[in-house]
Structure 1
Amino acid sequence: MKKIFLAAGLCCMSAIPVSAQKDSNHNFEISKNLEIFNDIYKQLDMFYVDSLSADTVIEWGIDAMLRQVDPFTVYYPEEGMDELKEMTTGKYAGIGAVIRFYKKEDRVMVIEPQEDSPAIEAGVKGGDLILSIDGKDMKGKSTQEVSENLRGDAGTTFELTVKRAGVEHPLSFKITRRNIAMPPVPYYGMVADGIGYIYFERFVDGCSRDVRRAVVDLKEQGAKALVIDMRGNPGGPLSEAVEVTNLFVPRGQKVVYTKGKLASVNSEHYTKKEPLDVDIPVAVLVDGSTASSAEIVSGAWQDWDRAVIVGERTYGKGLVQMIREVPYHGSLKVTTSRYYIPSGRCIQAYDYRHLNPDGSAKTLPDSLTKAFKTAGGREVRDGGGIKPDVVITPDSLPSIVYDIATSDVLLDYVNHYVQTHATIAPAGDFSLTDADYADFVKMVEESDFTYKRRTEEMMKLLERTARFEGCYEGAKPEFEALAAKMKGGVAADLELPKNKEEIKSVLESDIVARYYFRRGVVQQQLKADKDLKTALEILTDTERYESLLKPVKK
């Protein structure tokens, strides 16, 4: 009889759904590992040779855990909530100024006060070296530390003391902090006959209204075609992506849908309003830093054959995050779903759960991506960002350009130039003369600026390898001849045509920022913008524009 009951019991157990068993095992694994973690920390706290901060050590553990998931899942403790707020709203309370570390003085320098900001209204200028904030010496403080001291609650007042080139004594300013909104559209204007340009820099709450205003204004100025520049736009609220897409797509069209592990995070998003214009030709500029919501917009317009996409393949962020509250006034920004654009493709490029040996995330080879169709039948593919309709390969940046752009000597030259020029030509028309550039080269030579050619470093590595493998002596004359040809000096390298062109462009942009702020920098950089040039060529050639939006005949 016992055998019968035992057999019946076993049968009942085998009838328990496999999913329930899996859930039970999963819940047990969670409880077990949390218990282990809890016990390890208690023992660490009790027995470790030095005293530990619970906040610091536990945050290390949380951050290490989240880094294994993906770079977008982030924990924000109570003191980090301002960062989260700034990211989602584009606003923070402060003075509105870009700052940078100035090594020569071991201090932070104001580089570019924001237009109409408390900094500008108080009299702060680009090039001002920060000495103290409310009497607290800022020498040796990092840009992060100085930034934290400049920020605070809106309405609070503090004293900023700076050293200004050409002024004998320090200057002090009383500044009242206020909420600073980083403009999502820092510049728009006409760039050619009948063609408007909009620099759409970031997605924040309400940014679709700024884009709409820019479109309306440009059309009133006579724009018959538009270039929308989303290069470097990292994305933001998904709802704003839907609103921006709606500007040129009819009501009732699908923009994006999301799929996650939980049914509650699955959603579909359609255009809800009447569009501004469903016919105006649009070219969209993108690059490798165009991500998230910016990819939804450019991808949706591509899927609906509503715009020609120009530039580089986009970043490939097809993951959606949700903000969840955690105890003690913190938040967790957690990836809850993947998004899919109208053709049905997910453009996520990186597999963060499976890493390469060097720790980088794996990507899907083009050969394994799947084909989808746009509304008009054009082939598009998933798994690797948005591939532009017209691909433009970016120019490589010489190493000396980067080294100069991040050096003190560049700041010194810009400060000197501004000191000696009360006004300059309008943004977009300004340029340095050869004599100006010669002055800069001389300043570099007289400074402590140093840099190593990457070519020389590679040559030394090659020589060491050849010596190790025993083949150096047989090729010694060739090595020496090549080394002599590759050897250069700072002044000579600054005069190389490619380097000179790029460095002049950096100098001109930094100088223009001092007179015309962020909008001026955008205008200045459009002068030699080959992506924009290509977009203009497409928009002025109706036949080419229309052919790019039609399927390729096979």
Structure 2
Amino acid sequence: MYKKYLAGIVVAGLGLGLVSFKSDSDRYFEIAKNLDVFATLFKEVNTYYVDDVPPAQMMRTGIDAMLKSLDPYTNYIPEDDIEDFRTMTTGQYGGIGAGIGSHNGKVVIQMPYEGSPAQKAGLVIGDEILKIDGVSVAGKSSSEVSRLLKGQANTPIKLEIKSYGQNKSRTVELTRANITVENVPYIGMLDNEIGYFQLSGFTMDASREVKQAVQKLKEMGAKKIIFDLRDNPGGLLHEAVNISNVFVDKGKDIVSTKGKVKEWNKTYKALDEPLDKEVPLVVLTSSRSASAAEIVAGVMQDYDRAVLVGERTFGKGLVQATRPLSYNSQLKVTTAKYYTPSGRCIQAIDYSHRNEDGSVGTIPDSLRVAFKTAGGRTVYDGGGISPDVEVKQPEYSEITRTIVTKGYMFEFANKYRADHPTIAAAKEFQLSDKDYQKFVDFLADKDLSYTTNVEKELDELTGTSKEGKHYDDIKAELEVIRKKVSHNKANDLQRFRTELQEMLEAEIASRYYLQKGYIEASFDDDPDILMAKSVLNDPQKYASYLKVNSK
């Protein structure tokens, strides 16, 4: 039943579906010939190579290298990884209901899910996992620990946990449950008229969650909606079709898939009446919105149904399907490209044509072909979906990047939570001057080694000068410049306080209100949301972006 279930789902981005292999006799001969050569070579190497070679390891290396030469999305899925693959496509698994990750060599809770066994047991962000059922997790990766935490629902599991600031560990006993990761982690009102919801994935039931989100927002009084697709990596193709159908008319073309075998080509249409085809709609996109997310964004743009705000999307216009292999393994293979209603394929990288060094390049803007939306606006293929309103994204300072990447912000938020039992609502929470000074003091003995962009450029100039004949002539001037541009940690912590404090407030809010708190605390500082609100609050501006002369 399980394999039959896997074989029946088509995806864009994660890739599932039922397909079959066809070829002519010449191709069959080439396949048989090369399989024979490969089998003979594999046997000879394993028999005569000077050292022992684990056959399974060698075969896996060969398979991975072979598939890597095609594209990043064609993958071999061994039996051990099938359960993780199923989780990626369904959003469901048996476990404690918490995201985990590595922090300074420790495996810690990164986000308990609301209502999960982890949250009910009192586990919080930053809790370190020391043992699982009496077995130490020292030296194990976060993915290995994640597998140990998973299991059949209703089975017991015992964790040894050490919380931030505590000298002693404690034992926590939980019962695993059936966990469903939400595709829509947030629904809420930004003001009296504008509703907002975020879609983070396209696993099973994503379209049902989107319908419920829209209905809930309308019940809350929303007269305009912001639909956030930023950083959404994609997922099930049919969920993208059904989500598009929420906002566009029954019978409309949503997406077409076209591959090498013509019999597999298919056009997916909107099968139901839309939930709301009139509500003013802004769709947020980012450079990490990919695949199924790009289908939805492309449909909204091609039918002039929404104004797209943000960044150009990732540009993944490839569809994958899975094929069963021996010993309960699977092959996820690219079988087609998808096309939006206007006829454009937004694939950014042409993996079929490689440079002499094997690298691939993106399709240059000069080769992007123009298409027309339903209302006559010009849009382009290749290189992702370009927004109607492009928003410049903030470039964070080197000190901010260093603090985040070294985990100091994560650690201070844990400390703040340990020192403060409660805070204001996430939307209202702000750090005081005293709080920020405590953050500065916390960083006093931390390694904040970093080099600013100006310092890097000066280093390059100095290096180039030394290779020439005039270094001695300009050496003194270079040293003067270096003294002027050299960064100072204390000064930078004040100079970039605004960006640091905005990020820190969201991080701290998540310690009290989990993922919803993190999202809400970011609203007032989010340039995409601010632009989206500006567009929606000006009916003439909104309409102008959907007119022919707007692009």
User: Contact 1:251–1:275 at 8 Å: present in 2 too?
Assistant: yes
**1:525 and 1:450, CA in 2 relative to 1: closer, same or farther beyond 3 A?**
same
Deviation (angstroms), 1:406: 2.4
Cα distance in 2 between the residues matched to 1:475 and 1:356: 41
Q: What corresponds to 1:293 in structure 2?
A: 292
| Residues 405 and 506 in structure 1, CA contact (< 8 A), matched pair in contact too | no
* Distance apart, 1:181 and its partner CA: 1.5
- Percent identity over the alignment is 44
Alignment match, 1:417: 416
Counterpart position of 1:83: 84
Structure number with greater CO (CA < 8 Å, separation at least 6) is 2
Alpha-carbon deviation of 1:372? 1.0
C-alpha displacement of 1:418: 0.7
Mean Cα deviation higher: 23-32 or 297-306: 23-32
Larger mean Cα displacement after TM superposition, 246-255 or 464-473: 464-473
Q: Give the deviation of 1:357 after TM superposition.
A: 6.6
Aligned to 2:56: 55
2:245 maps to what in 1? 246
Unpaired segments ≥5 residues, structure 2: 1-22
Matches within 5 A, 1:59-458: 59-103=60-104, 106-356=105-355, 360-458=359-457
Bigger CA drift: 119-128 or 378-387? Answer: 119-128
Cα distance per residue 1:4-61 (max 9 Å; x no partner):
xxxxxxxxxxxxxxxxxx9444333322322222222112211223322222211111
Between the aligned partners of 2:413 and 2:500, the Cα distance in structure 1 is: 12
Change (3 A) 1:444 1:541: same
Do the aligned partners of 1:351 and 1:362 also contact (CA within 8 Å) in 2? yes
Map 1:466-477 → 2, pairs under 5 A: 466-477=465-476
| Distance in 2 between residues matched to 1:350 and 1:127, nearest whole Å | 39
The alignment status of 1:541 with 2:542, answered yes or no, reads no
- Structure 1 or 2, whichever has the larger Rg, is 1
Single out whichever of 170-179 and 235-244 deviates more from structure 2. Answer: 170-179
Kindly provide the amino acid, as one letter, of the partner of residue 48 in structure 1: Y
Q: Does 1:531 align with 2:528?
A: yes
Instruction: Calculate the aligned-residue CA RMSD, in Å.
Output: 1.8
Aligned to 2:500: 503
SS at match of 1:446: coil
Aligned residues: 529
| Alignment CA distance shift 1:503-1:336 (3 Å) | same
* Matched-pair contact (CA < 8 Å) for 2:426–2:517: yes
CA contact (8 A) 1:445 1:490 kept: no
Structure 1 Cα separation of the partners of residues 359 and 306 of structure 2 = 33
Which residue is 1:490 aligned to? Answer: 489
Higher alpha-carbon deviation: 480-489 or 373-382? 480-489
Q: Within 2, Cα distance between the matches of 1:112 and 1:272?
A: 37
**In structure 2, distance between residues paired with 1:143 and 1:228:** 32
SS at match of 1:514: helix
Compare 400-409 and 380-389 and name the one that shifted more.
400-409
Alpha-carbon separation, structure 1, partners of 2:537 and 2:180: 36
Deviation of 1:274 after TM superposition, in Å, equals 1.0
Q: Taking structure 1 as reference, are residues 511 and 190 closer, same or farther at Cα in structure 2, changes over 3 Å only? A: same
Quote the offset at 1:469 in angstroms: 2.1
1:268 alignment partner AA: T
Q: Which residue of 2 aligns with 1:27?
A: 28
Q: After alignment, is 235-244 or 141-150 more displaced? A: 141-150
Deviation at 1:155, TM superposition (A): 2.6
State how far apart, in whole Å, the 1-side matches of 2:119 and 2:271 are: 40
Deviation at 1:289, TM superposition (A): 0.7
Deviation for aligned residue 1:422 = 0.8
Q: Partner amino acid for 1:83? A: D
Distance 1:223 1:475 in 2: 64
**Does the residue aligned with 1:239 lie in a helix, a strand or coil?**
helix
User: What secondary structure does 1:310 align onto?
Assistant: strand
Structure 1: which amino acid aligns with 2:527? K
Note closer, same or farther for the CA distance 1:391–1:356 as it changes in structure 2 (3 Å cut): farther
1:452-491 CA-partner distances (Å, limit 9, x unpaired): 4354344333322211223211111221011111212322
C-alpha change, 1:411 and 1:284, in structure 2 (3 Å) is closer
Aligned-residue offset at 1:362: 1.4
TM superposition shift of 1:352 = 1.6
TM-score, L = length of structure 2: 0.92
| Cα distance in 2 for residues equivalent to 1:124 and 1:319 | 40
1:109–1:130 Cα contact (<8 Å) kept? yes
Which piece of structure 1 moves more, 188-197 or 40-49?
A: 40-49
- Letter of the structure 1 residue corresponding to residue 524 of structure 2: K
Q: TM-score, normalised by structure 1?
A: 0.92
- Match in the other structure for 1:8: none
Q: CA deviation at 1:145?
A: 2.3
Q: Structure 1 residue 540: deviation in Å?
A: 1.4
Q: 1:188 to 1:77 in 2, by over 3 A?
A: same
Instruction: State the alpha-carbon separation in 2 of the partners of residues 411 and 301 from structure 1.
Output: 37
- Aligned to 2:352, what secondary structure does the other structure show? strand
Comparing 414-423 with 91-100, greater Cα deviation is found at: 91-100
Residue 127 to residue 386, structure 1, CA distance change in 2 (3 Å) = same
C-alpha displacement of 1:532: 1.0
Deviation at 1:184, TM superposition (A): 0.6
- Partner of residue 4, structure 1: none
Instruction: Please state how far the C-alpha of 1:234 moved relative to its aligned partner.
Output: 0.9
Contact 1:68–1:353 (Cα < 8 Å) also in 2: no
Deviates more, 1:483-492 or 1:542-551: 483-492
In 2, the alpha carbon distance for the partners of 1:219 and 1:250 equals 19
- Pairwise CA distance, 1:370: 1.3
Contact 1:107 1:141 (8 Å CA) reproduced = no
2:281 and 2:160 mapped to 1: Cα distance?
48
Amino acid aligned to 1:322: A
- The residue identity in structure 2 corresponding to 1:431 is Q
> Is the alpha carbon distance of 1:408 and 1:305 closer, same or farther for their aligned partners in structure 2, counting shifts above 3 Å?
closer
Write the letter of the residue equivalent to 1:551.
Answer: V
Query: Which has the larger displacement, 34-43 or 209-218?
Result: 34-43
The residue matched to 2:525 in structure 1 has which SS? coil
Distance 1:411 1:545, change over 3 A: closer
**Could you say if the C-alpha distance between residues 500 and 44 of structure 1 is closer, same or farther in structure 2, counting changes exceeding 3 Å?**
farther
| Aligned-residue offset at 1:121 | 1.4
The DSSP-based 3-state class of the residue aligned with 1:173 is strand
Letter aligned with residue 36 of structure 2: E
8 Å contact kept, 2:544–2:550: no
Maintained 8 Å contact 2:393/2:527: no
Match of 1:5 in 2: none
| CA offset digits 1:487-535 (Å, max 9, x no partner) | 1232222222xx3222222221221111101111111111211111111
Give yes or no for contact 1:189–1:196 (8 Å, CA) kept in 2: yes
Q: What displacement does 1:428 show?
A: 1.6
Question: Contact 2:74 / 2:333 at 8 angstroms: preserved in 1?
Answer: yes
Query: Residues 231 and 411 from structure 1, CA distance in 2 versus in 1: closer, same or farther, beyond 3 angstroms?
Result: closer
Q: 1:352 is paired with a residue of what secondary structure?
A: coil
